[in-house]
Structure 1
Amino acid sequence: MSGILRTGFRRAAPALRGHTITQTANIRSKPAKAPINAVETTIGLGMLSLAILGPSGWILAHLEDYKKKD
């Protein structure tokens, strides 16, 4: 069975490598309509940090409760 798979992959490999497609990205951007101030940046980073670190902090704070077998 493994011999069949190896032979099949050898035959398919040149066909897969035959033509390569080059992708190019055309990125065009404009300046922001309304600039973001320091307060909005701080709130956004704070919420992102809370969303990432909050659940893991909750688990670590209640680790002893999770260890108990009732």
Structure 2
Amino acid sequence: MSALAPRLLSGLTRPARGLIRVQRAPLHARPAREELSLGDKLIAMTTCFLCLLLPPGWILSHMDSYKKKE
């Protein structure tokens, strides 16, 4: 085991062999295929409000009742 340790650790001390190239996916921005209607936008915003903001608001508004020990 001790004979293998220097060989395994040598990779950690050797300098990097050049820069790592990362391939990126081509991104192209273009207009939407269909324009969302006002009703669709209202439904989406209402859903986001109900799912993300309402539960924390409920907890914060009832914080005093949660602190009381029964």
- TM-score tier, shorter chain, comes to 0.5 to 0.7
**1:8-59 deviations in Å (ceiling 9; x for gaps):** 6x615x23x6331132221356742x32111111110121122111111110
Structure 1 spans left out of the alignment, 5+ residues? 1-7
TM-score normalised per structure 2: 0.62
Flag structure 2 segments of 5+ consecutive residues without an equivalent: 1-8
Query: Larger helix proportion, structure 1 or 2?
Result: 1
Question: 1:1-70 alignment to 2 at 5 Å?
Answer: 11=13, 14-15=15-16, 18-28=18-28, 31-32=32-33, 34-70=34-70
For the pair shown, the structure with the greater C-alpha radius of gyration is 2
Distance 2:43 2:32 in 1: 22
TM-score (normalizing by structure 1): 0.62
Q: Which amino acid aligns with 2:22?
A: T
> CA-atom RMSD, angstroms?
2.7
Percent of pairs with identical residues: 32
